[in-house]
Structures are given as C-alpha cells and as structure tokens.
Amino acid sequence: MTPAEVLAELRELRELDAPTHGGRVLAYVYDSGLDELDALASAAAEIARPLNGLDPTTFPSIAAMERDVVAFTRRALHGGTRPLGRRIVGSVTSGGTESCLLAVKTARDLWRAQHPERAEQRPRLVAPATAHAAFQKAARVLDVEWDPVPCEPDGSVRADEVIRRLRSDVALVVVSAPAYPSGALDPVREVSSAAAARGILCHVDACFGGFALPWWPGLPAWDFRLPGVTSISADLHKFGYAPKGVSVLLHRGRDRHRTQFFATTQWPGYPVVNPTLLGSRSASPLAAAWAIIRYLGTAGYADLTAACIRATEDIAHAVAPIPGLAVQGLPVGPALSLIADPSVPPAQQVDPHHLADAVARSGFKIQHQPGLRQPNGTRLPHSAHLTITPVTERSMPELIGALTRAADAVRGTPQADPRLELAALRALGYGSGTRVPGPAMAWTILQLAGAGGAAKGRSLPGRLAPLMALVERLPAPVAEALLTELLARVSEP
C-alpha cells in the first residue's frame, strides 16, 4: 500500500469512532475547544516522537520538559514553597492508572521497610468505595489488601468511617478530589490529618480534578496546603488538555519519591533505572503537555476552568426542574452524576440508564454507571456520569434539550430487570460467583444478552440499560468474566 492509501484507510476507520471534539461525548475526552492547542500539541509531539523517555541523560530535553511540568503542577497544587517542610518532588507518568499504581507501590514498600517483623502480612489500602478502580488494580497487582469504606447513597464518605480504619497495618489511605463516579470531594483535611497523626501516608487522587480544581473558587484546601497529604496524582491528559498518555505523581519528600523507582544492576545489560512502571516510553505526550502548559500558563487554565464552571452550573440548573431526575449529592468540579430522584414515587422517576440510552439517540453520550451493593448492605444508586469540558458550553441548549426530551420519554420506566438472564445463569451454575464462565461460555451468554454485535466491529447494543442491570446484579466475578470476554472479543483478530 502507498502511504496515502494507508492513511485513507485509517481515516475511514476513525469515522466509526465517537466524536472526540465538540462536546457530544461527556466522558473519556477533554476538549478545550481551542484548535490552536491541538495543533500545538501535535507539533510538539512530533518533534519529540523519535526520543526514548527511558534515558533523560542521553536525551536531556526530556529531563528539561519533565522539570517544567513537575514544577508547574507543584505550584498549582500549592507544593511550591516549603522552606521548612519536605520538598515536593515527582515524576511524569503515562496516565492516571500508572500514577495511582506508583503511589500504592511507594506506600507498600515504605510500610514493608518500616515493619520488617510483619513480613508475612499484607498491608491494607483504605479508600472510600468511590475511589477509582485503579486502586483495586494496584491492590491486586501489588499484593495489598483492598479495604473499601462504604459511602453514603449521595456519593459522599463520612470522615469518621475512614479514620476508624486507620490502624498500624494500613500502608496508604486514599481520598479523591473529586471522585469520578459522583464528583464528590472527599474529606481530605480530616482524613489527612488523622493519617498524619498515626504515621500513615495519605494520597489525594486528583487525576480527574488536578488541573481544574486549583482554579475552582470556594473549595476547602485539598492539596499540599494540608501537611498530612503525602502524595497527589493529577492527570495532564484530562483537564490538562494534553493528548492521552501523561499524568503527574508528586510526593512530599525525596525519600518517598525515590521509593517509587526501580533500579537494578543485577543483569548483564545497561543499568536499569526506571522512575515509573514502563521501560522505554514515548516522550510525545510529555512534549505535548509541556507545550500546552507553556502556552496556556495559569491564566489559560483559569479561563478554561471558568468555562467548565459555567457549563456545570447550567447543567445542574437545567436538571433541577426535570421531574424525576436529580443530581447525585454535592458534586465539586467538572463532573456530575444523574440519578432517579428518590424523593418522588417510582412512576415519576427517570431511570438514569434508560435516560442515557435515550440521550444517545440525540447524539450525546453520557456514561452508564452500574449501582454498587456495599459490604454493609447499602446500595450506591446506578447513575449516568457527565464529564463537563470547556466545549460543553457550546452545545448547551442542544444538550439540555436532549436531556429533557429523553427524561420525558423514559419517565416511569423502571430499571431493566434481568430476571430471566439471572435465572438462566443460575441454572448454568453461575449464581454464586465461585464458578466463573470461561471464554466460550461467557461469549454464549453475552450473545444471549444481545451484546454479541460488539465483537464484529459493530458498536454495543443501542440500549445498554439491560446489560448494565445484569452487570449490577450478577456476582462480581461472573460479571467481570463477561465484560473481560466482551472487550477481548472486540479486538480479537
């Protein structure tokens, strides 16, 4: 094929994708609405494309860009000037999940070093149930015990519920600023000061809010202004508006930061020193983020955040009078989650997943979030998540119209009831979660549930509400096996 033919084919493939620009997709993508920002990011990424981020001594431009990015983030998160305290230092990583994994690895290694007598024990990772799933992944990968703190149905967590779990076997407590599912800002001050008093590390996951909350007025302190906060993650590929593949993890103290590293001289190749999980890594996302930061500066981020604030307020005001629909809790920052209004009778409620399906028919994608049954028996409601970006403002009348029409269309329709599918799965022996389906059986079940089209290059079924209801009600290991199969089949050759 000629290069032109190859690129034409790629463009054709891209036509199947959801629109990444223009505010139609209210999750996954963070569109600043500034065309020149995208052009700048692309040009910077291209200049850095041949580099290998593995070795900033061979390619000092990488070290220079990383210094600038870490310094900018540190200033934004009030970690810049601590003449008496421990210095705030950190690394650029490949994304939120890697930053979260590294925060947990650091805490685990420090806990192990402090407690050599407990070599047989797995330390705990305490976090509200709304903490990002990346921390569950970290717990599994790093052999730490995941200890979720039940949350209130409005998505908030009680500080005392977190604090009473902070015992000497806790390696790390995590709070979010804000939590992705509901937009709730966790009680960072209370938790971080209790953690500090017990000698426990406290990570603030600001992957979502780290480049928006610093310019969001009227918030309580949630960052390095609080002395008990020992690390913060903040994603440049979210509200930093950089292309995917770049996040920052900051630590209070060089000693903690250095614990994050992996180094070995015990092989016959080049000495390996990796600050992050990857070895060879692209410098393009770093270069793009660096260029965006230099171009926007603090004032640019403040302007873009102001657009997010206006759009978030507009949506909240527009949803308030829609009968049967409600915003969950008290979101902080550029996200909110829609739930069925629990204060009205079911016949007047708007089911958020039917709403999301109906809104999709108007060309807007809002994100289905299944409900969660917590270990204490309470349930966090199923909801529809909206990430609000600067461009959301531009499509506001259309978006509000779509939400209102969709709510009118589905009002009174109860949450999908997967009774038949559940009975069939129980009959097949998958009722308890102790037995999980293998690839072939999982695939058969998915096809019966109507999700088979996704694997043939087509999109998921137009109505996701029934699949989400099934996911919510199945034993978690069974649901996870089904979803694993679905995603594996999507890209299986």
- Residue ranges binding ligand PLP (CB under 6 A): 95-97, 100, 132, 134, 176, 180, 205, 207-208, 235
Three-state secondary structure string covering the chain: CCHHHHHHHHHHHHCCCCCCCCCCECCCCCCCCCHHHHHHHHHHHHHHCCCCCCCCCCCHHHHHHHHHHHHHHHHHCCCCCCCCCCCEEEEEECCHHHHHHHHHHHHHHHHHHHCHHHCCCCCEEEEECCCCCHHHHHHHHHCCEEEEECCCCCCCCCHHHHHCCCCCCEEEEEEECCCCCCCCCCCHHHHHHHHHHCCCEEEEEECCCCCCHHHCCCCCCCCCCCCCCCEEEEECCCCCCCCCCCEEEEEECHHHHHHCCEEECCCCCCCEEECCCCCCCCCHHHHHHHHHHHHHHHHHHHHHHHHHHHHHHHHHHHHCCCCCEEECCCCCCCEEEEEECCCCCHHHCCCHHHHHHHHHCCCCECEEECCEECCCCCEECCEEEEECCHHHHHHHHHHHHHHHHHHHHHCCCCCCCCHHHHHHHHHCCCCCCCCCCCHHHHHHHHHHCCCHHHHHCCCCCCCCHHHHHHHHHCCHHHHHHHHHHHHHHHCCC
Q: Which of residues 122 and 137 has its CB atom nearest to ligand PLP in the complex? A: 137
- Residues contacting 377, CB < 8 A, separation 6+: none
| Smallest distance, ligand PLP to C-beta of residue 132, A | 3
Nearest to 357 by CA among 331, 323, 334, 382: 382
Q: Which of residues 100 and 151 has its CB atom nearest to ligand PLP in the complex? A: 100
Q: Which of residues 132 and 354 has its CB atom nearest to ligand PLP in the complex? A: 132
Q: Which of residues 72 and 208 has its CB atom nearest to ligand PLP in the complex? A: 208
Q: Which of residues 208 and 301 has its CB atom nearest to ligand PLP in the complex? A: 208
Q: Which of residues 180 and 290 has its CB atom nearest to ligand PLP in the complex? A: 180
Q: Which of residues 281 and 473 has its CB atom nearest to ligand PLP in the complex? A: 281
| Smallest distance, ligand PLP to C-beta of residue 244, A | 8
Closest-approach residue to ligand PLP (CB): 96
Q: Is the peptide bond before 178 cis (omega within 30 degrees of 0)?
A: yes
Q: Which of residues 157 and 207 has its CB atom nearest to ligand PLP in the complex? A: 207
| Smallest distance, ligand PLP to C-beta of residue 55, A | 24
Q: Which of residues 76 and 406 has its CB atom nearest to ligand PLP in the complex? A: 76
Q: Which of residues 130 and 395 has its CB atom nearest to ligand PLP in the complex? A: 130
Q: Which of residues 33 and 243 has its CB atom nearest to ligand PLP in the complex? A: 243
Residues in the chain: 493
Q: Residue 310: which region, alpha, beta or left (left: phi > 0; alpha: psi -120 to 50)?
A: alpha
